[in-house]
């Protein structure tokens, strides 16, 4: 099972679309989020890793730059997640701590 965070945003929705046909769970803030057929929606908040349904997840695609980033990796490991794929970019090497990617 893949868990995609930010699944209704620009990048997350593209990840969900690319995983068409695979078992996908989408972390959403509101239960009425519009997702492709076959995608399981789960309500949670990246700022509160304990609210994220990780049972059965093998691969996690977390959005960078959220308050719970320091706690999610251990929680994912403890839940049996085998792979974490983090979106990054050139800004990851910057010293600009106002940039969400640089802070993560």
The pLDDT assigned to 64 comes to 77
Q: pTM here?
A: 0.81
Give the pLDDT band (50/70/90) at residue 17: very high
The domain segmentation of the chain, as residue ranges, is 2-103
Could you tell me which residue, 93 or 49, shows the higher pLDDT?
A: 49
pLDDT at 65 over 80: no
- Residue 101 predicted with pLDDT over 70: no
Distance between CA atoms of 22 and 101, rounded to whole angstroms?
A: 28
The listed CATH number (3.40.50.720, 3.30.390.50, 3.40.1360.10, 2.40.30.30) that belongs to domain 2-103: 3.40.50.720
């Amino acid at each position: 099972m893949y868990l995609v965070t930010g699944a209704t945003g620009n990048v997350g929705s593209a990840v969900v679309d690319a995983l068409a046909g695979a078992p996908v769970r989408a972390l959403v803030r509101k239960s009425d989020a519009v997702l492709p057929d076959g995608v399981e929606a789960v309500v949670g908040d990246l700022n509160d890793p304990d609210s994220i349904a990780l049972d059965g997840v093998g691969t996690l695609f977390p959005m960078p730059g959220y308050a719970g980033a320091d706690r999610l990796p251990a929680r994912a490991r403890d839940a049996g997640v085998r792979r974490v794929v983090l979106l990054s970019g050139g800004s990851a090497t910057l010293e600009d701590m106002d940039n969400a990617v640089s802070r993560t």
